Amino acid sequence: MKEQKTKYKKDKLKESKSVAILEAAEELILKKGLDALSINKIASKAKIAKGTVYLYFEDKEEIIGTIAIRARKLFLDYFKKYTEDKENPIEKIKGIFWADYYFSQEQKRYHQLITFYEQNTGLNESSELANMGKNISLYIKSIIDEAIEKKVIRQDLDSASLTFMMWGMSVGIMQLVETRKEQLGFALNKTPEEFFEFFVSTILDSLR
């Protein structure tokens, strides 16, 4: 019994330190961005020794990957939020795009994390992180399949390819909106949201 209690206390201590490391890293990312993250800063923020961090995580990338799992879970929640209450598959597809837009605006650092993994394809993803990415893709694909089945978009479309293409286009447009805000107003007389609306409408018209 004593050995079990000792093991329980050690497990709880290990869990609490792991949580403290992740929370410190997440707070640093949310406040200062992904590029500013380092093991030294994480250890200082968590008020633990730098060597202790390496007892729980192999490197900074593993910490980022663990937080990215949270980001992808929240991302999937956004997709469901903007699609589940809609009956028309076209409106669901529109909701997919707008879920991405509002996620990028309301969860900037989490969106940055997801984009970080998309742009750095050489990174090793944990099985859990990879599965979350697959779940997001499958959710989007199911909406496209429904739209094809109900014949509200073209029947010759391949849903898997379209899912991949939609994700790529959305990543690119979000970067454009973020880096060219002034040009949108000056050259097009549009707010970022108005430009995104134009983008979504154009894509939807091409699917019909």
pLDDT at residue 1 is higher than 60 = no
Q: Higher-confidence residue: 33 or 132?
A: 132
Return the pLDDT at 10. 41
Q: What tokens appear for 109 in the block?
A: 């650092």
150 and 88 in a common domain: yes
69 and 28 in a common domain: no
Return the pLDDT at 67. 86
pTM of the model: 0.80
196 and 178 in a common domain: yes
Rounded CA separation 81/170 (Å): 18
75 and 165 in a common domain: yes
70 and 53 in a common domain: no
Residue after which a domain boundary falls, among 57, 81, 101: 57
Residue after which a domain boundary falls, among 11, 33, 57: 57
pLDDT at residue 6 is higher than 90 = no
Supply the range of the domain harboring residue 144. 65-207
Q: pLDDT tens across 120-145, in order?
A: 655 567 788 889 889 999 999 999 99
73 and 35 in a common domain: no
Residue where the block lists tokens 């869990």: 15
Q: Higher-confidence residue: 35 or 168?
A: 168
pLDDT at residue 181 is higher than 50 = yes
Q: pLDDT tens across 50-72, in order?
A: 999 999 999 888 888 888 888 89
Q: pLDDT tens across 76-125, in order?
A: 999 999 999 999 999 999 999 999 999 999 988 788 777 776 666 555 67
188 and 118 in a common domain: yes
Domains: count for the chain: 2
Q: Tell me the helices (H) and strands (E) count for the chain, helix number first.
A: 10, 0
141 and 73 in a common domain: yes
102 and 29 in a common domain: no
Return the pLDDT at 5. 40
Rounded CA separation 123/120 (Å): 6
94 and 15 in a common domain: no
Q: What b/e readout covers 180-199, taking b as 16+ CB neighbours within 10 angstroms?
A: eeeebeeeeeeebeebbbeb
* Domain containing residue 4: CATH number: 1.10.10.60
Return the pLDDT at 178. 82
* Domain containing residue 140: CATH number: 1.10.357.10
- Confidence class of residue 15 from pLDDT cuts 50, 70 and 90? low
CB of 188 within 8 A of CB of 115? no
106 and 163 in a common domain: yes
Residue after which a domain boundary falls, among 11, 29, 57: 57
11 and 105 in a common domain: no
